[in-house]
Structure 1
Amino acid sequence: MKAFVAGATGETGRRIVQQLVDRGIAVRVLVRDANKAKDLLPASVEVVTGDVLQGNTLAAAIGDATVVFCATGARPSLDPTQPYLVDFEGTKNLINAAKTQGVEQFVLVTSLCVSKLLHPLNLFWAILVWKKWAEEYLQRSGLTYTIVRPGGLKNDDNSDAIVMSNADTLFEGSIPRTKVAQVCVEAALATEAKNKVVEIVAKPDAPHKSFGELFSAIG
């Protein structure tokens, strides 16, 4: 397996990169700022400078990677077009390039509650709407996929157990970004995770289960 990570210098993306490196998996990352990447990411990763909005450059950027991880996301901005451009158009460009390159699996990080139109996050330029459109585009693409919908993201890790549920069944809760990264990487390794949408949070009173058990329970 060779991994390609978009959004690699973000809080979740760089944790995905670290999980991959820790497993000895070759990693190529797409970043807009190569100097920032050198400061934040392990020295062993291959850095490609680019942007998901530049669709005609992405197939070459992906190259011979077999799995694509998409952890991009619009940053808070006064520009109402950013969620549409980054969370939908950018992801769509990456999906198209992955299909062109014959990628074996596409792992997409979105969010809980993407199906809830009347959600407070949609006040921020319909951010969940565009994430949901990206999910649907991926599901129609013909690529093998796993869509990971985490709850509220925490930068600090903890010992809470991961709770995994089917699409549109979890509507609250939080989870450390490190656990989100673990789920993403395990999704690329587990047959049981293919072509599934999983919602994840972490709870201190939940039983600890293996990733195989978690993914197998998802319909």
Structure 2
Amino acid sequence: MKVLVVGANGQIGQKIVKHIQESEEHSPVAMVRKNEQKERLEKEWIDAVLANLEDSVDDLAKVLSGVDGVIFSAGSGGSTGADKTLLIDLDGAIKMMEAAEQAGVDRFLLISAIGADKRENWSEEIKSYYVAKYYADKALENSSLNYTIIRPGALVNEPGTGKVWASTDFEYGKVPREDVARVAVASLTAEPTYRKAFNLLSGETSIEEAVNRL
């Protein structure tokens, strides 16, 4: 499967690209915004395309030519305001969904956030972030796409363990970005994750087993 990674220069996105590149069944296409990022990736023999989530749906659909699936891990980042969060995390995500439908790309994975589906638990400090995730998740669930929504807990930069807790039940906890990336790649062809949203924390179950028993 040829997989477009949206947000390929982000902390999770970089790890997703690496794990796809190392896999035997998939190949990555890294979507980045800057030419120097594209050139760096191409020096590592990684296909890369220039695009911006503030581009039109038609322009984004062109980026999906020849692609079989999408992993959306983009985000505006913690240093931007609510306006940028809505433009990237919400409208950017929805435009990429519409572009995938337009381009005939069926498989779509979205990295969301734990608790995004529970308004009563939203933190006031980052409420706009949760609003964006909530409505992006809803849009994907209501689309025609074969989706998977991964809602990781608090993200940490500790080494991945390869052991996770993946469930439709709700709990708070943390998870290394490395393991989020591994779960995203493992979910691409794991049928139990199809048209499903699930929460993800560190745990005691191997990633392969966790995604296949959802």
Q: TM-score, normalised by structure 1?
A: 0.89
1:13 positional shift: 0.4
CA–CA distance in 1 between the matches of 2:165 and 2:159? 15
1:83 to 2:93 alignment = no
Equivalent position of 2:96 in the other structure: 94
Change (3 A) 1:124 1:44: same
1:28 aligns with 29
Structure 2 counterpart of 1:46, which letter? D
Q: 2:149, 2:197 within 8 Å by CA — same for their partners in 1? A: yes
Shift of 1:32: 0.7
CA distance in 2, matches of 1:130, 1:120: 12
**Where does residue 148 of structure 1 map in the other structure?**
150
Q: Does 1:47 align with 2:43?
A: no
C-alpha contact (below 8 Å) 1:31/1:48 kept by paired residues: yes
Aligned residues: 212
Q: Distance in 2 between matches of 1:83 and 1:164?
A: 26
For 1:119 and 1:131, the matched residues in 2 are separated by 13
Deviations 1:115-161 (A, max 9, x none): 23344544235101110100110111110000001011112214362
Distance between the aligned counterparts of 1:137 and 1:75, measured in 2? 21
Pairwise CA distance, 1:42: 6.8
Task: Judge conservation of contact 1:115–1:129 (CA < 8 Å) in 2.
Answer: no
- RMSD, aligned α-carbons: 1.9
Alpha-carbon shift at residue 78 of structure 1 (Å): 5.2
Partner-residue secondary structure (3-state), 1:179:
helix
Q: Does residue 124 in structure 1 map to residue 120 in structure 2? A: no
The equivalences for 1:1-219 within 5 A come to 1-24=1-24, 25-39=26-40, 43-55=44-56, 56-77=58-79, 79-119=81-121, 121-159=123-161, 161-166=163-168, 169-203=169-203, 206=204, 208-209=205-206, 211=208, 213-218=209-214
Q: Structure 2: state its 5+ residue gaps.
A: none
Shift of 1:45: 1.6
Q: How big is each residue's C-alpha offset from its partner over 1:166-213, in whole Å with a ceiling of 9 and x where there is no partner?
A: 0xx32311111111011111111212211111111003xx3x3452x3
Percent of residue pairs identical: 25
